[in-house]
Amino acid sequence: MGRLFGTDGVRGVANADLTAELALGLSVAAAHVLAEAGTFEGHRPTAVVGRDPRASGEFLEAAVVAGLASAGVDVMRVGVLPTPAVAFLTGALGADLGVMLSASHNAMPDNGIKFFARGGHKLADELEDRIEAVYEQHRTGEPWDRPTGAGVGRIADYHEGFDQYVAHLLRVLPNRLDGLRIVLDEAHGAASGVSPAAFQQAGAEVITIGATPDGLNINDGCGSTHLEMLKAAVVEHGADLGIAHDGDADRCLAVDHTGAEVDGDQILAVLALAMREAGTLRGDAVVATVMSNLGFKLAMEREGLQLVQTAVGDRYVLESMKEHDYALGGEQSGHVIVLDHATTGDGTLTGLLLAARVAATGRSLAELAGVMERLPQILINVKDVDKTRVKTSAELGSAVADAERRLGSTGRVLLRPSGTEPLVRVMVEAADIEQARAVAGELADVVKSALG
């Protein structure tokens, strides 16, 4: 059996890969592992459970809640809320465990389970491994030690979570959004209620699209993975900007008043300068992955800020931020972490902070995002090659060195083996898109011949 936990919890096709039995078993295992680790010592354990609007979330939530209660954990069911809201409430309510049911930006048939530790932080890898091992041990026959009578967990709906989370977002905001007209694309997802409420209460005039979830339409042609509708709506309504979330609203991408996309790198650049001005950008540093656009790096250097780069994945960004006490980090995909106010990427918070910067400066988002020039980026996936030899092939090493010489300081080459498929990703950036395309094509050919 392969590892159940990926970089963002357990994910798969609901009712095929991710069944009610698996959800129930993992929840019981999580309760037992956290009890063994001493998390529940001296008190009756509690958990916060939330979900996105996917139809499958209804039966999976029931399975998770049943599993936790059967293991003696009291459950506060917060209903449909974003992933960062569940993380926030886990911390704010002093819960021992948080559980979110969502497959984020994936298509509707998928779903996932993500566990949060006390304080709303991601579970440590060793705890995930232990949960998986305990789940397997009991799945194959060993009976659980089950409480009875008054020892079983109690289940209650916690309706106050919505207002608590919105109030938290508004407390964090440095200034109001009065005078701004903003289009919000909620991806028919978990933020369809809280995000418009937060923006409206902050003073913005709000136009919503993709905010009528029916359990089946999440991420369907809308949200941060499909910006076409948002771009059109911003132009049509003469809005100052547009904000797009994904299904669980841990991401945020934006659109300026002309309908041009503002990606995660540009959002990071705008927020970095705002935080430096406010004195909250510790170490004058921003954490991003190696996939961030070279234009972002050049802009940070020009502004005298340090760019700390990590492997691809928001978990690595978060690890670096915690280790060095940095305040801001994120990915090009719009996963932005403001660590003083959130334990995970929070799309609604990111959108609010971006809009607050527009309101405070009186400058358009297009002008603010212009602090960095996005250099053309070409990505080619070379399939059916031996990805393990990327770093050891002399032929490939020579070709990369030659390409880097030709590109000079305004270009970049990145070769990255896929974590899940037998392919190598060739990424080339250059000031000129034709040069980027030519160099990427040449390197892809070398990857085929050297590693094929």
The pLDDT of 88-111, averaged and rounded, is 97
Q: In this structure, what token pair is assigned to residue 61?
A: 């939530």
How many alpha carbons lie under 13 Å from residue 16 in its C-beta half-sphere?
Answer: 5
On the CB side of 342, how many CA atoms lie within 13 Å of its CA?
30
- Is 104 annotated as belonging to a binding site? yes
Residue 100 tokens read as: 């979110």
For residue range 234-251, what is the model confidence (pLDDT) as tens digits?
A: 999 999 999 999 999 999
Q: Which domains does the chain have, with CATH numbers?
A: 10-159 (3.40.120.10), 163-369 (3.40.120.10), 377-451 (3.30.310.50)
Lowest average pLDDT, out of 75-84, 114-123, 420-429, goes to 420-429
Asked whether residue 384 is marked as a ligand-binding residue, the answer is no
User: pTM of the entire structure?
Assistant: 0.92
Work out the average pLDDT over 218-229: 96
pLDDT band at 110 (very low <50, low <70, confident <90, very high): very high
pLDDT at 1 (0 to 100): 44
* Per-residue pLDDT, 2: 55
Binding residue per annotation — 250? yes
The pLDDT of residue 420 is 64
pLDDT surpassing 90 at residue 372: yes
418 is in an annotated binding site: no
Strands across the sheet with 377-383, in order? 377-383, 423-429, 412-417
CA distance 191 to 410: 39
CA–CA dist 87, 90 (Å, integer): 5
Amino acid, single-letter form, for residue 307: L
Distance of alpha carbon 102 from alpha carbon 79, whole angstroms: 12
Catalytic residues: 104
Per-residue pLDDT of 186-203, as tens digits, reads 999 999 999 999 999 999
